[in-house]
Amino acid sequence: MHATTIVTVRKGGKVVIAGDGQVSLGQTVIKGNARKIRRIGKDKEVITGFAGATADAFTLLERLEKKLEQYPGQLMRASVELAKDWRTDKYLRNLEAMMLVADKSVTLCITGNGDVLEPEQGVMAIGSGGNFALSAAKALVDTDYSAEEIATRAMKIAAEICVYTNGNMILESLDEES
């Protein structure tokens, strides 16, 4: 997936997902303040960030929200069920997007290949600038910086390097379960 950067950091009792606001069409920036980070679920207890085709991502967000209604408080189960549908359904199989999702206890990356992946070291990133943000976040995770500070710095670095990522960042966070 290209044309965006989404990063998640879980550290110090918080989980954060941050994303840029750039929407590109080929080599043209169409919009600079898109909101690719959303809260979903009954009580907005799940943070999501997406990379890829916008309509496809919204379709997947709606499907994930329905799975969360089916399996309340079970983000892992809802994500696995979504990934199964995404991989096997003739319509969904053609959707081009990836998602990072997090609740108070788990962080996951969901892909159209049927993958539901948990991050190592509490850090994961997707999109064209994902590897830049991931590298920066991994370098900072062992410092005294908070999850928010790490995500913000990682996004800033990705925006400086990736032409499909801008500095207009949205960040959402949740406190972990005690």
Which of 4, 5, 48, 152 is labelled catalytic? 4
111 is catalytic: no
Handedness of CA 86, 60, 35, 31 (dihedral sign): positive
What b-and-e string marks burial along 130-150, b requiring 16 or more CB atoms within 10 Å of the CB? bebbbbbbbebbeeebbbbbb
Give me the sheet containing 46-52, strands edge to edge: 37-40, 46-52, 97-102, 107-110, 116-117
**Active-site annotation, residues:** 4
